[in-house]
């Protein structure tokens, strides 16, 4: 499957790109607003994988150009720009494509991070308003720590929660997630439940900040 990471030049994009290329046979495409930045990052990821004897080609390009070739498009950009980014690539999407949102809205003050959803209730619900007809939206990867993903020496042993309206699309995203060794994907219901999933992220970040040994922590339900 071809998986495009829009904003794949950033932290979670790097983590997902490296893990997907390392553990799975999916083709990973790195998108950016700046095609040159995407190409540079794709080369950097290839170099890291090559140092681990993984020969792979990661293509970089403008967000809209990589979305054209993708079956699954992960919108790995800051939460305030998810909807605009989907709209910017809408014409590149085909019927049956899947958009994945990993985004959580958070504010920070002296006490730490606080959940700050948009008026729609969650970033995933807000993003749903921009998804073209025939394309399915799935929320996933919200509660993963980018640094832990990007460190290919780190064992994962963590869960990610998957929300969406279409069971087939959720199944495809679940299979992609579980292709990453040590990652389990759990169905958390429809998009109306995205707020509950997204709101876990500031809790995890606050706990990581206040407990040295829990840097880059994740959740595992037992």
Residues that bind ligand NAP (CB under 6 A): 7, 9-13, 32-34, 37, 76-79, 81, 85, 102-104, 141-142, 144-146
- Decide the pairing of beta strands 136-139 and 158-164: antiparallel
What is the smallest separation between the CB atom of 55 and ligand NAP, expressed in angstroms?
25
| CB closer to ligand NAP out of 158 and 167 | 158
Q: Of the candidates 124, 132, 75, 74, which has an alpha carbon nearest to the alpha carbon of residue 104?
A: 124
Nearer to ligand NAP, 45 or 141 (CB): 141
- Nearest Cα residue to 132 out of 169, 99, 165: 99
Q: How far is the CB of 165 from ligand NAP (least distance, A)?
A: 20
Alpha-carbon span 212 to 191, nearest angstrom:
34
- Nearest residue to ligand NAP, scored by beta-carbon proximity: 10
Alpha carbon distance 52, 197 (integer Å) = 33
Q: Which is nearer to ligand NAP, 17 or 49 (CB)?
A: 17
CB of 179 to ligand NAP, least distance (A): 18
Q: Cβ of residue 53: shortest distance to ligand NAP, in angstroms?
A: 27
If residue 183 lies in a helix (H) or strand (E), which one and from where to where?
A: strand 183-187
Q: Which two tokens stand for residue 107?
A: 């504010």
């Amino acid at each position: 499957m071809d998986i495009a990471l829009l904003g794949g030049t950033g932290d979670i994009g790097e983590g997902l790109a490296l893990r997907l290329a390392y553990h799975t046979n999916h083709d990973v495409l790195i998108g950016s607003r700046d095609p040159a930045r995407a190409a540079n990052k794709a080369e950097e990821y290839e170099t890291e994988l090559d140092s681990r004897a993984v020969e792979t080609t990661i293509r970089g390009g403008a967000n809209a150009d990589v979305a054209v070739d993708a079956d699954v498009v992960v919108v790995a950009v800051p939460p305030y720009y998810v909807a605009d980014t989907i709209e910017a690539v809408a014409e590149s999407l085909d019927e049956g494509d899947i958009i994945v949102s990993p985004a959580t809205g958070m504010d920070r003050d002296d006490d730490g991070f606080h959940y700050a959803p948009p008026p729609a209730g969650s970033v995933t619900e807000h993003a749903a308003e921009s998804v073209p007809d025939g394309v399915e939206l799935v929320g996933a990867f919200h509660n993963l720590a980018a640094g832990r993903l990007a460190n290919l020496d780190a064992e994962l042993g963590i869960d990610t929660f998957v929300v969406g309206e279409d069971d087939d699309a959720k199944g495809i995203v679940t299979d992609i997630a579980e292709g990453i060794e040590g990652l389990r994907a759990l169905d958390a219901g429809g998009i109306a439940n995205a707020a509950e999933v997204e709101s876990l992220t500031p809790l995890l970040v606050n706990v990581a900040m206040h407990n040295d040994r829990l840097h880059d922590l994740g959740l595992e339900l037992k």
